[in-house]
Structure 1
């Protein structure tokens, strides 16, 4: 084995290790959607039901829901049953690495291995912005696979019949399934504009692929409504989520979200690569241009898409900068036989410097304390206390902790709310959930309506109404704090059915101090 080949294997191993590291974190079940996904999977396999209403909640149990990620819940449940939460962490890392490998292969084939390796250092930190186990990782994998198949039309001819099969799985696992036909459409447009080679046959095959993928998307429990759901989901979205906010919105509020610095650097490099492409070729690559614009726009308008931008931008940048490098399999005589090897050392040096720089801009993916497999220590303690003491509801909980309660308490107890704005009427958040935490009058009205006996709250809720609510309940003599840990707090009504638990576990109010966050 040549020295250059050995060095490339070493660098690829390093990149995979780095990708695994930045996408890994211990499972934070308290504020994650994962608990609900696992419960969906459990219900599917044990009862043969795909939930189509909000039956986890006692406030709006009949509200219709398009369960667009039920398949992801089924997959997560099977993995958890077979290998525990540690195995679920490994599964997420494996899916993330597979997506990265596919786009890295495209980048290396579009330029050269060394260029792809250096550019990966720009995009890898972005992957760490979505290191929580979500169905979204399957969309990243499927998008990477579609790109890998479509990028080279010779590859497409071999793999095109697999795309509808993947599309059928995709529509049942994550709402980004519409990217499948859209990606095919971009490459079809590229062939129509370029009209090179056997373009008519390519257009025909790409058109067939769009039709078959569109038909495959109909294979979901909600049928046509499920296909149209990406257009409908925000109709009654009355609760603002951090992940759906734009870069400019967060900057206006002076919110220091560190991945934005990485994104701006990557976006700038992508823009420079297109300037170089136009200057050198004077050609229009319509499909890739639109894909670049779409990837940048998606990430800019919703920070949840920063990791997706990281995947998409790598092969796009490499293809443009590939004008300066010999591609894989290309004659390298004019570069010298040792071209690749001679550039491995400086490439590694520059990549290492960039990595150190990025760890300063965006330290979150590199924090060792959050790394590991399985659940965060102590995750089960609060729910275990609740079940062990047989605490009676109804329970009032905040938005963040809903998935946690669904996982540990359903079906014995249902939640007031969970982290799915689309599963509740818009008026519920605007007229009930937020006001009852802001104003005592609204809280008393809701309390009279629902007759709460317990409060189960994520105590690092950064919303102004959530912080105000906790302060008021600590001061409220009608409610007794009985459990608190790093993330969760439980209150019980003094004159309710949980009096014995209060007598045994009430916490002194002096142990609580008021410190607003955010």
Structure 2
């Protein structure tokens, strides 16, 4: 039965990780990886015409290099298989963690469900997924001290944190988790200068020192702080807003919260101060910003597993493997993979991106002009047309000047200042979602001419900036 449950979770992770490469951020991450292989680590912006030369910390440089190497070796199929492998590892490690700490195969099968499904809805091919895996490994080190990784914190924690620092800015959650654990254990009577906690504290300090060895030095470690200092910008970004409980992700997160509350209410023993401190902190982070929904269930899993667990493993009356259901689960994984992998990887045949509109831009001799499009569509533009075409802005909100970001947000809102904004940045071409309010505004302005339209996008040019 344990093998069957493990197989189900592994198939879930495998299938969820091999989704279509439709994330706009991933597209410029991939392009950056190829740039690094050819030219080295970027130090300033290379993609926009509005902020050229602006200092840029490519905080996911190591993940980007991995993406580029995979793309060179096997194309989109290799990228999707890599995502599938990471998803499989997350699901398998989560199940094994719950099983080990709960001593109950049924609890191990059910407890990760709502949390991992809620987190899985924000999984994508972006480096955040690698950050989730790194956090899970760190949780194993801290919460399962008798595991192979847990017995070697001085080795595992510095390696994991160095990799995490160089693949995604969420590494701050790792250092935060370690600090919360040590503070909580101190409240429980185990100060950080004794025994196991001393080893973890030393490993954390060593990790901090090792992580300074990176292409950007202290600037890379400062990245999360610098990003959070842009609260006015983050407030307008969906993934930094509180979860909407009316969405599928919000509903699953609410179910995860309910599961945690039920476990706490029915637990035969009280949670430790450490567990309360860690759990509450990460739940508040998830309620503050929905991007943290990917991390909160990982940290909560060992806590609820211990509280809901048994003192001894549940007896299994049937020791023989469940071959028939196991074969069905594995067959599903094979058929799912065989069906999904041949499909277009980047979604260029659907309305995710302005594929036909950008072809019209090129056909009309407008490629290379000062082009305005959305931050989402800019990722596609960078991947497909850079360096021939630079963008107005993309979703690197950590890099772009605040004034430019706010100007763009005002364009999104269709505010009356749109005309002066386009004049100030000398925009010549606009590729915009057809049904968006700003596209409707341009349709009524005599200084802009419609040169292309389809069901997804419209292309406008400034009068006097047509084909050259």
Work out whether 1:25 is the aligned partner of 2:5.
no
Greater share of residues in helix = 1
Gaps of 5+ in 2: 327-338
Alignment partner, residue 134 of structure 2: 142
Alignment partners' CA distance in 2, 1:67 and 1:38: 12
Structure 2 match to 1:418: 394
Q: Deviations over 1:440-494 (max 9, x none)?
A: 863332343343332122446xxxxxx2211122344531232535x44333345
Return closer, same or farther for 1:480/1:210 CA change in 2, 3 Å cut-off: same
Which position in structure 2 is the counterpart of 1:473?
442
Deviation sequence 1:89-132 (CA, Å, 0-9, x none): 22112112212222221110011222110223322321332132
Contact 1:185 1:206 in 2 (8 A): no
- Normalised to the residue count of structure 1, the TM-score between the two structures is 0.77
Question: Judging changes above 3 Å, is the alpha-carbon distance between structure 1 residues 160 and 383 closer, same or farther for their aligned structure 2 residues?
Answer: farther
Of 239, 243, 247, 1:243 maps to 239
Alpha-carbon distance in structure 2 between the residues aligned to 1:180 and 1:479: 51
Which SS does the other structure have where 1:261 is aligned? helix
TM-score (norm 2): 0.84
Matched, 1:94 2:85: yes
Distance 1:375 1:92 in 2: 14
User: 1:185 offset after TM fit, Å?
Assistant: 3.0
- Say if 1:22 and 1:211 are closer, same or farther in 2 by CA, change over 3 A: same
In structure 2, the residue matched to 1:504 is: none
- Find out whether 1:492 has 2:468 as its counterpart: no
Q: What does residue 212 of structure 1 align with?
A: 206
Report SS of the residue matched to 1:271.
Answer: helix
Q: CA RMSD in A?
A: 3.1
Alignment size in residue pairs: 441
Inter-partner Cα distance in structure 2 for 1:275 and 1:309:
19
1:372 Cα offset (Å): 5.8
Distance 2:282 2:426 in 1: 47
Change (3 A) 1:124 1:191: closer
Q: How does 1:321-360 map to 2 (within 5 A)?
A: 321-322=308-309, 324=310, 326-327=312-313, 337-338=315-316
Counterpart Cα distance in 2 of 1:302 and 1:371: 35
Provide the residue aligned with 1:52 in structure 2. 43
Spell out the pairing of 1:394-413 with structure 2 (5 A cutoff). Answer: 394-413=370-389
Does residue 84 (structure 1) correspond to residue 71 (structure 2)? The answer is no
1:391 to 366, 369, 376: 366
**Alignment match of 1:281 (pick from 261, 265, 269):** 269
Counterpart selection for 1:157 from 151, 162, 183: 151
| 3-state SS of paired residue (1:65) | coil
The residue correspondences of 1:63-212 to structure 2 (distance < 5 A) are 63-111=54-102, 112-155=104-147, 156-158=150-152, 160-194=154-188, 200-212=194-206
Is the alpha carbon distance of 1:137 and 1:482 closer, same or farther for their aligned partners in structure 2, counting shifts above 3 Å?
Answer: same
CA distance in structure 1 between the partners assigned to 2:293 and 2:342 by the alignment: 21
Match for residue 256 of structure 2 among 255, 266, 270: 266
Distance 2:159 2:415 in 1: 54
**8 A Cα contact 1:19 1:124, kept in partner:** no
- 1:190 and 1:341 mapped to 2: Cα distance? 40
Structure showing greater radius of gyration is 1
Deviations 1:333-355 (A, max 9, x none): xxxx446879x9xxx9xxxxxxx
Deviates more, 1:400-409 or 1:185-194: 185-194
- Secondary structure of the structure 1 residue equivalent to 2:44: coil
Matches within 5 A, 1:32-43: 32-43=24-35
1:414/1:307 Cα in 2 relative to 1: closer, same or farther (>3 Å)?
same
- Counterpart for residue 335 of structure 2: none
